[in-house]
Amino acid sequence: MPSLIHLDGVGKNYPLVSSSLGRLRTVASLLMGRESGQKYTALQGVSLTLEKGESLGLIGENGAGKSTLLKIISGVVKPSSGTVEVNGSIGALLELGSGFHPEYTGRENIYLAAALMGQSRKETESRLDAIIDFADIGEHIDQPIKHYSSGMVVRLGFAVATAMRPDILVTDEVLAVGDESFQKKCIHWMESYLNGGGTLLLCSHSMFHIQTLCQKALWIHEGRPHMMGDSFEVTREYLTYHEEKNAQAVHEENMPLPVGAYRLLKLWLENDAGLSTGSAALGGNLKICGTLHSPDDRIPVALIGIVRADGTPVYGTHSNESAYNPNRIEFGLYGFCVNLTNLQLLPGKYTVRAHAMDPEGLRLFDTLETTVRVTGQTRDYGLCRLEHQWLPGELPPLQGEGWGGDGVRRALPWWRSDE
């Protein structure tokens, strides 16, 4: 049985024009079958296969080529290179209002969109009530959609797609428009669609939606495939990329260390087998080891810190906190190793920093750093996992004197900073 979608080396070029005359020259060149001069490469070298029942998320920055790829798969745009094979009906929710006539009412546009998807008027009439009910736009269904908000247009388009139940559903940022209740309705329908054997191609800037709905993910960067694989792994790398990109770089001058300074000679990470590593599993163990130089052979203090890729501090500790002393290897050379057990850092990329301090732990002399990737799958948020247990809900306890109302401040979610 052939794959539902198969792409091999797909690319798309657009002519570069900066004036009306340039546009005319481009059209003339295309009509005569000649090259149109300078080109902009929007997409290049995309190869993928999608089987029945699979779900693929497309991620990447704005302008990376995601929408272009969806248009090529949907048949809206013809590729400049490569081959595209699609075996099945496609329901495409791309640009807002695509396939809708602005002067027609919502009801009339349902018939129009269904006809474009190959449905007869009789078939559409049998599904009309279900479509209108899912769209939930009330009396606006009989008004021209040129008066609709962007959210209402998406509601109507998604409602048509749900009624048709195509073999392949292609969506471009559908969940980014509309209220929370409609998003939940869409997600519930997509989950039901996938459980019923449907195939989903979802483009979204929400890594939560990609992880929730998609088995695999494709990260497109500057028009090229950058990474493809398990949705958790790809989205984790994508988030790490943005953390590093948005981090405020701290540029420090490389001043030579003074004579007689305590120094860090080596810093490395080990796994349980004692082998050097650059990764650790959520809930596993990670050893941070290093060697220190002491100019006077006194025992130096080692300071360890862990920060996220964007510079957010996560944890720090120093060797003299629990009366630990780095062990003497030879004159002026000391070693240390700290074992982080049951590692509860959420998956992502972290920087491990070690600092050499004087024996009193007052002066910091030298710094080395390395990186570690924490692996695993979780939908928790933040930097670390806290041990927790969900319990049955109850009525609130009686409040003591001095409490106002229920004593709880109504605040925004922690990930929002509108206040």
Q: What is the pLDDT of residue 380?
A: 85
pTM recorded for the entire structure? 0.69
3-state secondary structure of 364: strand
CB 97 within 8 A of CB 145: yes
pLDDT, tens only, 204-222: 888 888 988 899 999 999 9
pLDDT, tens only, 92-146: 877 656 668 888 999 998 888 888 777 788 888 888 888 888 888 888 999 998 8
Nearest to 385 by CA among 232, 283, 280, 279: 283
Bridge partners (DSSP) of residue 12 are: 43
Sign of the alpha-carbon torsion through 139, 145, 149, 154: positive
In the block, which residue shows the tokens 């943005």? Answer: 242
Nearest to 358 by CA among 290, 267, 292: 292
Domains and CATH numbers, the chain: 52-82+89-246 (3.40.50.300), 263-375 (2.70.50.60)
- Give me the amino acid identity at 249: A
| Distance, CA of 398 to CA of 387 (rounded, Å) | 27
Q: What is the pLDDT of residue 361?
A: 77
For residue 179, how far is the Cα from the chain centroid?
21
Bridge partners (DSSP) of residue 308 are: 350
Q: What is the pLDDT of residue 252?
A: 43
pLDDT per residue of the chain (419 residues) written in tens, 0 to 9:
678 999 999 999 887 766 666 666 666 666 666 666 677 889 999 999 999 999 999 999 988 999 899 999 988 889 999 999 999 888 887 765 666 888 899 999 888 888 877 778 888 888 888 888 888 888 899 999 888 887 888 888 888 877 778 889 888 877 766 667 787 888 888 888 899 899 999 998 888 889 888 999 999 999 999 999 999 899 888 888 877 776 543 334 455 666 678 999 999 999 988 899 999 999 999 999 999 999 999 999 999 999 988 788 899 888 887 778 899 999 999 999 999 999 999 999 999 999 998 887 777 888 999 999 999 988 888 888 888 888 888 888 776 554 445 555 555 555 555 54
Residues in the chain: 419
